Structure 1
Amino acid sequence: MAVMTTERPQMELDQFRNIAAIAAEREDVVFEFINGRIGVKPVPDGDHGEIIRWVSKRCMQHRPDLWLYAEQGLKVERYRAGHAKPDGALAHDGAFAGQGEWADPDQVLMVVEVTSYDADTHRRDRVEKPVAYAEAGIPVYLLIDRQAGTVTVHSEPRGDGYGNISTMDYGHEVVLPTPLGITLDTEELKRYSR
């Protein structure tokens, strides 16, 4: 069995772009490139979309100066060619103007991921993305975990992950810390999880 390390990417960004262009005709999955590896996640279902709508609405109620950009491509690694498309990227209006498909994450205040019902969601959303988003310096990573019925707030990014991680079951109030200062009542999320 081959042992893989995170020292070198499995492939280069241009190779990934070629594969993604060919795979773009598929309608059932979305491709990402994180830590030099291809990530595949299923196309979001209706409940997934409702959760993103819910987060967007709550954030705009508290912070009308911000917008939750869906599926905005971000450059997520400081030293390697890495890209991710979070379910949502919270930033000021116009933050991504002129940046193209893969934007610099320096204006992102929070990324949002909603777990999918697939075998890869643990590695992708709970393990790899917190590290990638922290390395990119994104202040808050909000993970809405439909399998566990929990909301996890990652904050205080550092090089190897987030220094503060708080998980609450659906139905509790969750505080999105500085620079957001938003409190979410998560009771409604019970409607959108199996």
Structure 2
Amino acid sequence: MTAMAHEPMPTQEELLLESFLALETPEGFKAELIEGEIVVSPTPVGDHQDAIDIITEQMYANSAVRMQQSANSGLVLPRGGRCPKNHIIPDITFAPRELRIFRSAPPWMPCNDIAMVVEVTSSRADIDRITKRHCYARAGIPLYLLVDRECETVTLFSEPAGEDYGDAHRTAFGKPLPLPAPFSFDLETSELS
């Protein structure tokens, strides 16, 4: 008698990733897979979008290196444990223009060559303050800029090391925040308040 070959049963993590990738998100929402949880949130509007615009304008006008940005690029980031990789859509992703990493990028792209990601807090602020910060650090993204609307602060996290960033510079809305290379200018935050 011959034993029949069976396909291995997918793991819970594989099923979660498969379900996430097949998800049809309603118009006006975005879905992310963050630390094993599917998070669905509305796309930015109002003050949230205004903060994104303020930062983007300054990056284009003042950066020492020409930048390109995307507000729609999903990033595939490493995850600890056996869970599937994180699939996160930052509010803004910046990369040097000369690299043109967003050109022909797949919907979920690797995080290579990204100079900085930006998050503006919304209704689930701890995801931006803690969870995404750890995801970005683990991926080795050099700079993470957090605009915390509730605390009225802007924080630049740098020097990714394992699960977190080794350095953080925080300033209150209204005070400039120095950005290192490749940006090399002081981010004005007065319009964020």
Please give the TM-score of this superposition, normalised by the length of structure 1.
0.83
Show the counterpart of 1:141: 144
| One-letter amino acid of the counterpart of residue 133, structure 1 | Y
| One-letter amino acid of the counterpart of residue 101, structure 1 | P
1:14-163 map, 5 Å: 14-18=18-22, 20-21=23-24, 24-25=25-26, 27=28, 29-63=29-63, 65-77=66-78, 80-93=84-97, 94-116=100-122, 118=123, 120-122=124-126, 124-163=127-166
SS state of the match for residue 108, structure 1? coil
Aligned counterparts of 2:147 and 2:182: Cα–Cα separation in 1: 19
| One-letter amino acid of the counterpart of residue 75, structure 2 | L
Deviation at 1:67, TM superposition (A): 1.6
Larger radius of gyration: 2
Deviation at 1:48, TM superposition (A): 1.4
Aligned counterparts of 1:9 and 1:155: Cα–Cα separation in 2: 30
Aligned counterparts of 2:19 and 2:70: Cα–Cα separation in 1: 27
- Contact 2:70–2:102 at 8 Å: present in 1 too? no
RMSD (CA atoms): 2.0
Aligned counterparts of 1:78 and 1:179: Cα–Cα separation in 2: 27
Deviation at 1:178, TM superposition (A): 3.4
Structure 1 unaligned residues grouped into runs of 5+: 1-7
Aligned counterparts of 2:152 and 2:87: Cα–Cα separation in 1: 28
SS state of the match for residue 58, structure 1? helix
SS state of the match for residue 181, structure 2? coil
Aligned counterparts of 2:159 and 2:169: Cα–Cα separation in 1: 11
Moved more, 42-51 or 147-156: 42-51
SS state of the match for residue 107, structure 1? coil
Number of matched pairs: 176
- Contact 1:10–1:36 at 8 Å: present in 2 too? no
User: Taking structure 1 as reference, are residues 32 and 101 closer, same or farther at Cα in structure 2, changes over 3 Å only?
Assistant: same
- Contact 1:155–1:177 at 8 Å: present in 2 too? no
- Contact 2:35–2:79 at 8 Å: present in 1 too? no
Structure 2 unaligned residues grouped into runs of 5+: 1-11
Aligned with residue 171 of structure 1, among 174, 182, 192: 174
